[in-house]
Structure formats: C-alpha cells, structure tokens
Amino acid sequence: MTITEPEDPIAPYLGAQLNAFRARILASNRPGDLDGLCARHIMGDRADIGWDVDPPSDSWLADNAERLDDAGPLASAGYALTALTGARPDMMPKVRAALGRFMQRDHLRIGGPTFLHDTRTLLGVALVILGVRPEMPEAATWLAHTLSDPRLKPADRFHELIRSHVLTAVTGQPAEPVRTDPLIDPADLALAYWMTGQNTARLVDPTDHHILSQRVMHAVMQADPAELTIPQAALLASAANAITNVSIDQALLSRTHLSLLLRRFPAAMRRWRWDSGDRIKEPIHWPITSEREIQDILWLVMRSVFDDVIDEDTNPKIGHASTRADFGIPSLRLLVEVKYVYEGTTAEFKKIEQEVMIDSVAYLQRATLYDEIVVFIYDSTASVEHHELTRDALIKVPGIADVIIVSRPGVLAQGSSKPKAKKANATAAKAAPAKMAPAVKKAAPQARAATRRTTADAPTE
C-alpha cells in the first residue's frame, strides 16, 4: 500500500493540536469550575467554544455563602464580575465583605500552597479587587504589597510572569519590559504573548513581536496538551487562534513578497485616471508630479499587505544630523527609500545614486530595527537608458536588498501632466522675454546643443 504524504503537513497537524487544546479545555467547561472560568477569562469570546461556566447562580451563592472568603469561591466571584452577563447587584456587598475578611489574613504564613501560587485563584482574586476598586481602593494596595513581599518566591518563570501581570493590572503602572529570548517552555511563551495583548507587558524591542509569534506557533506544535494545566492550554489556544486569524499572512511574508509587490507598480497603474477630453464630458486627471505623490501611492499599496508599515520613520541622530526613511517595515526589518526622477539626465541619476549611498549608511545604524533597504525609483521621464546602470551601482551597496526602477505610464505622457521643475528654472522661464525664443532658433548648432545641456543638466530639487 502506498502512503501519500499531504502537500502541507503543517496545517493538519496544527488543526489537530488546536482540537486537542479545545478538548482539554472542554473537560472543565462546567458551571462554577475554576479551571473553566479561568480559561474563559483568558480566551474571551474569540474561541470557538460554547461556554457553560456561568456566573454564580442562586444555588451557587447559597452553597458558598459561608465560604465566599475562601480563595476558590472568591476567585469564582471575580471571574463572574468580568463575565459578559456580569455579577448581580445583590452579590456585591457580600463580595466586598468577603474580600475584607480575606485581606485580614497573612497568606504567606499559611502552610502549603496559597492562592498566590495558583494561577486560577490569583487571577480571580485580582479580578475581584479590580471590580470593587471604586469602593475599596485599599484592596489594590494590599495585593500589590503582598505580591511584592520578599517571602513570596516565584515557583517558576510562569508564576513570575503571572505575578507581574497581576501587579501591573491592579496598580495601573506602565507595563514592564519582558525579555522573551530566554523563554523556552510553551506555556511561558504563550503567557508572554497574552500579556502583551493585555497591555501588562511590553517587549524590549517592538520588532520582537514577530519573532515571538513565530516561537509561539512552534511551541503550539510541540506542546503535549495532556501535560498542560487548563489555563496553560487556554493560553496556547488563545495565542494560536490570534496569530492564525490575524497575522498568519504577515508571518508568511518576506522581503521577496515586497519586491514582487513593488514590481507590479507599472501593471497596477493601468487603471490610473487620465481621461480623454474627446470621449468624456468632464475628464478626470490624476497628475503625478512629485516624490510625495509616489509615496502616497506606495503607502496605499504596502499598507494593504503589511500591517506594520511605518510612514517616514525617523532614525536616531548620527552626529548633529538625523535621517528619515520614507517607510519602515519592522516585521521584515526593511526600509523603503523612494526617489523621483524629474528630468532624466545623467547628472540627476548620479545624484540619486549618491544620496541613496550616503543615506543607507545612516539608516542602517539603527541595526536593532532594520537590516536592509529596498530602493524604489519612479522615473517620470522614462529615461530607461539609465535604469540598468543605476540599479547595478546601487545593488552593490552593502545593505541594499533590491532596487526597483519604474517609468511613468504612457497614458500620463499623453496629457499635460509634467514633473515639477526647479523653482529657479520656473522663475527664469517666467522672466525671460518672449522675443528671446527666435534667437535660440537662429543660434549655431553648437550653441543650441550647449543650451540643451545646460538646461537638462541643471540640478533638481
């Protein structure tokens, strides 16, 4: 019997892993189950699960009325406060009274594991404190002091991250930076990813988010659901769902995709509006006359594909000057530099080459964010005889990954849209008397050639 390997073995395996996480979580999808309540809090309403961990009912309150100041029931009440249906108003006085009694204990002296070492109860109690903060602001201070007590030793990295999450949530302090490169355990990686989404942690380098997403997906594939706690399974499932639903296209994109996208610029310009006045009563013309307009077009193109495009990313100062790249794509560690050819002379192409070479050195000093540059040059004069030389000169520069040169669409050449000339040239043209035109015509061929060279080779803005 011949066994045929699937064309994409990763997708089915990922689906199987997600189903295994789901089955693990569903085992605790029961009314009042602390694991199930914690899992719903982590996953929210984004998961494909019909939650049956309802907020405390009348029967639950009756059964736990005398135990509401115990960690488990109090944590369950906390999850109820943040549930979609919320907690009943008549429940709040009982919760506040129970929390007051709970705070009077020294939980660090209680023998054996306490709520401080249990992810489910610690999160639930924190939710209670957040829910009653307007009436009991001292509760947040109490929990912050308790979590900061030197007697509380983190059991592992996971517990340390949970404690940091709760501290940031109850104190309202800015999120602390977290380094993800030392994290190895799948649950730790998933927790760090979840915390960044909750704004209780921030990455040391924003570009690490892409790397973290990739590491989380690897962790999802390698994790054994049977060895995970319910909250840990919920964290991995939540992270996997978020990454696959929102960022999987971004994770698969590369510098090659950007180059292919930009090389399609001429073909996409086929629908650029430049109506003929002979056929349309009120023709529409979209002139392209400056570098800024090309940047606007490229922003629309790239932002449709790359979620993290940064417009005009300013680089740190080098000496007394700072530089500003046209676009940055941190997830690809790429900068995009845009240039506009106004007159198409040899001198202008040389000037562009020199500018790009100088700027590339300054841009890539910010090595923590960007590694390479893609240069995009729009030639409004269609001087294609210079394109290959300019590309060959720039592609040899260290750090330049690709050079893409495109020409103005022919439809624009048929209209009156022309590149903006230098202000000095325009001023001179206005000041020149009309009677000078015949003199140029009568000049010797050598003089006419010199006039053309002088005008064509004038530097542009």
The per-residue pLDDT for range 306-364, each reduced to its tens digit, is 878 888 655 544 444 456 778 988 878 889 999 999 999 999 999 999 999 988 887 77
372 bridge partner residues: 334
Provide the angle, in degrees to the nearest 10, between the axes of the packed helices 119-131 and 71-82.
60
Q: What φ, ψ does residue 315 adopt, rounded to 5°?
A: -90, 155
- In 27-70, where does DSSP find H-type helix? 34-43, 58-64
pLDDT for 105? 87
The Cα 382–Cα 261 span in angstroms is 20
pLDDT for 307? 79
pLDDT for 371? 84
Please give the full DSSP string across 84-148, using - where no structure is assigned: SS---GGGHHHHHHHHHHHHTS-TTTSSS--GGG-HHHHHHHHHHHHHTTTT-THHHHHHHHHHT
The Cα 79–Cα 32 span in angstroms is 10
The per-residue pLDDT for range 286-304, each reduced to its tens digit, is 888 899 999 999 999 998 8
3-state secondary structure of 55: coil
The Cα 217–Cα 15 span in angstroms is 12
Kindly report the length of the chain: 461
pLDDT for 182? 92
Strand 201-203, strand 372-379: pairing: unpaired
Low-confidence ranges of the chain (pLDDT < 70): 1-12, 46-48, 55-62, 65, 83-89, 110-113, 206-207, 245-253, 312-323, 365-368, 411-461
pLDDT for 236? 95
pLDDT for 165? 95
pLDDT for 429? 45
Q: Which long-range contacts (CB under 8 A, 24 or more apart) does 5-13 make?
A: 10/221, 13/221
